[in-house]
Amino acid sequence: MAQLGRVGVVGLGYIGLPTALAMHDAGYEVIGVDVDRETVAQLEDGKTRINDVDDDRIQAAVSTGIEFTTDYAALADVDGVAICVPTPLKKTDTPDLSYVLDAAERLEPVLPDGCTVVLESTVYPGATEEVVGDTLASNGLTIGEDVYLAFSPERIDPGNGEYRPRDIPKVLGGVTAACGDRAMALYEPVFEEIVRVDTAMEAEVVKLLENTFRAVNIGLINELAQVAHELEVNIWNVIEAAETKPFGFMSFYPGPGLGGHCIPIDPFYLSWKASTQGIDTRFIQLADTINREMPEYAVQRVIKLLNDHGIVPSTADILVLGVAYKPDVSDIRESPALDIIEALEEWHTDVSYHDPHVPSFELGGGTRRSVTLTEERVAEADCVVVATDHSDLDTEWLVDAASLIFDTRNMTAGLHAEHVFRM
> Which of the following is catalytic: 84, 115, 179, 262?
262
From CA 311, how far away is CA 346, in angstroms rounded? 16
Active site residue 84: no
Can you name the residues that pair with 352 across neighbouring β-strands? 319
CB 125 within 8 A of CB 119: no
28-52: b (≥16 Cβ within 10 Å) or e: bbbbbbbbeeebbebbeeeebebeb
Catalytic amino acids?
262
